[in-house]
Amino acid sequence: MNSSTKKYVAAGIIAQFKDLVLLGRRSKNSHNLAGYWSMPCGMIEPGESPEEAAVREFFEETGVQVNKPIRFLGDFAISDQDFFITYLMKIDNLIFPSSEAIDSEEHDEWGFYKIYKNYLPAPMTKETMSIILNINE
């Protein structure tokens, strides 16, 4: 199944600064995967493109506007029919998520982590880790 025929239901953006990526630990208030580390992400709303959803979710969870181009990084199945799509945004400076963000309660910790398996925080889904480790390939 190629990306044009996949049913994307969720999207996220990985912000990359040099050899670091921004990740947040999902709080106990998260709808799923509480305690897991992930990129800012969420569900695609009706009428929204995956790119629009990724940009909206990034802003809602971090309070930071996406002001750099995003590019397709990868995707993975989250059920038999539904897929999660990930984009990459290369940034020139470190960014700091705001506690005033619309959905700031979805994460209880943020950090920049090196793009190497032994440097990424745990727990993290194998799909998220795989997408991140593919950045440098």
40 located within any domain: yes
Find the angle CA(99)-CA(28)-CA(96) to the nearest 5 degrees: 25
Question: Which amino acid is present at 116?
Answer: Y
What's the CATH code of the domain at 64? 3.90.79.10
pLDDT at 32: 85
Q: Does a structural domain hold residue 103? A: yes
User: Which pLDDT value is given to residue 31?
Assistant: 77
Does residue 1 lie in a domain region?
Answer: no
**Full domain range(s) for residue 116:** 7-133
Look at 13-17, 115-119, 133-137 and tell me which has the smallest mean pLDDT.
133-137
30: which 2 tokens?
């998260």
Give the number of domains in the chain: 1
The reply to whether 114 falls in a domain is: yes
Q: Among all chains, which residue has been given the structure tokens 């929204």?
A: 48
Average pLDDT over residues 23-48: 94
CB-hemisphere CA count at 13 Å for 107?
Answer: 29
- Give 1-34 pLDDT, tens digit per residue: 555 689 999 999 999 999 999 999 999 988 789 9
Two structure tokens written together for 35 = 């305690």
- Give the tens place of pLDDT for each residue, 49-75: 999 999 999 999 999 999 999 999 999
